[in-house]
Amino acid sequence: MSDQQARSAGSPGSQEEAAELYRSAHPERFRSYLSRRKVVFLVAYVGYVCAYFVRNNFKLQSESIRLENGWSLTQVGIILTAFTITYGFAKFGMGAVADRVSLRKIFAGCLAASALICIGLGFTHNFVLLFILMLMLGVVQGALAPSSMAMIANWYPNKSRGSGIAIWNTSQNAGGAGLPLLITWLVTLVGPGNTWVGFLIPGALVLALSFWFWKKGGDRPEDEGKDRLSTIYGEFGEPQVEVAPDEGYMRIFVRFVLTSPVVLLIGLINAILYFLRFGITNWIPAFLGTEMGFSESQYLTAFSMLEWVAIPGCFIFAWIAIKAPNKQAIVGCVGLLLLAALIFIYMGNESYPVLLIVTGLMGGLIYGPQLIVNILTLNVVPLKAAGVAVGFVGLFGYIVGELAANLVMPILAEMLSWGASFTVLCLIALAGAAIYLFLGRYEKKIVKA
């Protein structure tokens, strides 16, 4: 039975009906597609957990390294900014590359390079050399989010794509939460002052796993000899955006990404979310340790709590993505309103139990709205431009959002107070909620579920 005969047997009114028509016509191909999709998701998820095991190592030990070398807060901010600048631009550039090459190879190769650079960071205490290595780390890490999200976008149809991305989004929380626990254990094992171990062991582990990712990672279904989502699910398989059959990649990029008002607004929201995320997490050691008087073990646990609680928080957002796949912007708006309230509690709190509760809740309300950005981005562009769209939106997040968090937060803290820094974060959160509310109307028009 041909694809055309299967389609003519009945006009599908949902993603499930379309899939059933295809399954009836091609049962073996459908089973093969579903089986392969599970492996692709596993690589995308576990691989991005590994990305964070070789990304945040300097950030988490920055206060110990700063005090050991007699550096200022601003100097630490400059080193963090080195990563931010190259990561932001590389996420954009590497996203475009990922759209044109093997997703599997670019992901695994850049992850292996990240691991090697991470190991090098552990044995470097020269300010200039650290800055250069962080620049290099940003370049190779820039390929990882676009390529791993493009894997999922190309293997999951409209209704499942949002929940797939939402679950994948917890990988950064698992990596972000696991690394401080691993570093705490390693420092306890070898003794204080041996910060190198927090770079060497995670780097070696990730380097070994990158070889498995190279072998098992996913490329686009058609590149692996399988049918496209539009063949399996029809109009429910891919975003409903009009692309001429002969329209070139550059024209698609300019039309649907570079000049799209919707993508530009999503990019602005992402910048706001990254300002919030890194304005809090990058300065946990300095604010909670030096300013508020919490011990290193306490503020690392608080950092880990923020990341761990974000995981069930993201699963809640994933559940909402399944129930309301075209109403994500409204959910993001509510999340940022709640986050603004929690920041006020966080900046004046001196109780350790309260700190753990507040940082945990903030984790869910930082990463929840952020995964919505990923869902919205993939839902408003053609799949052939998924990588560059993710990179373009990510460029806003890092070059505008995290760059501001790395520089504005310590400057305000040193010139005024940490209270002034966190008041700015509250106002930024309210602005992001307003933009999300505006995007809600467009989202309902573009996503068919």
Amino acid in position 123: F
How far is residue 272's CA from residue 274's CA, in Å, rounded to a whole number? Answer: 5
Amino acid in position 249: Y
Radius of gyration over every alpha carbon of the chain, rounded to an integer in angstroms: 22
**What pLDDT does 135 receive?**
92
Q: Are 278 and 287 in contact (CB under 8 A)?
A: no
Q: Are 308 and 177 in contact (CB under 8 A)?
A: yes
Going residue by residue through the chain, which has 449 residues, state the pLDDT in tens, using 9 for 90 and above.
344 444 444 456 676 777 777 778 777 887 888 888 888 899 999 999 999 999 888 887 877 788 888 787 778 878 888 887 888 788 777 877 877 788 889 999 999 999 999 999 888 888 889 999 999 999 999 889 888 888 888 888 766 777 787 788 788 878 877 888 888 788 778 776 777 888 988 999 999 999 999 988 878 888 777 767 766 676 655 555 554 445 666 777 777 777 778 888 888 899 999 899 888 888 888 778 777 778 777 888 888 788 788 888 877 877 776 676 667 778 888 889 999 999 988 888 888 888 888 888 998 888 888 878 877 787 777 767 777 787 788 788 877 887 788 788 888 888 888 888 888 889 999 999 998 888 777 666 655 55
From residue 66, give the alpha-carbon distance in Å to each of 74, 163, 293: 10, 40, 17
How far is residue 442's CA from residue 433's CA, in Å, rounded to a whole number? Answer: 16
Structural domains of the chain ordered from first start: 15-218+248-446 (1.20.1250.20)
Q: Are 153 and 161 in contact (CB under 8 A)?
A: yes
Tokens of 280: 């809090």
How far is residue 166's CA from residue 192's CA, in Å, rounded to a whole number? Answer: 37
Question: Counting Cβ atoms within 10 Å, is residue 230 exposed (0-12), middle (13-18) or buried (19+)?
Answer: middle
**What pLDDT does 4 receive?**
43
**What pLDDT does 237 receive?**
57
Task: Report residue 385 CA to chain centroid gap.
Answer: 18
From residue 312, give the alpha-carbon distance in Å to each of 27, 171, 270, 363: 35, 12, 21, 10
**What pLDDT does 8 receive?**
42
Residues 6+ apart with CB under 8 A from 281: 59, 176, 303, 306
Work out the number of other CB atoms within 10 angstroms of the CB of residue 6: 18
Q: What is the largest CA-CA distance in the chain?
A: 74
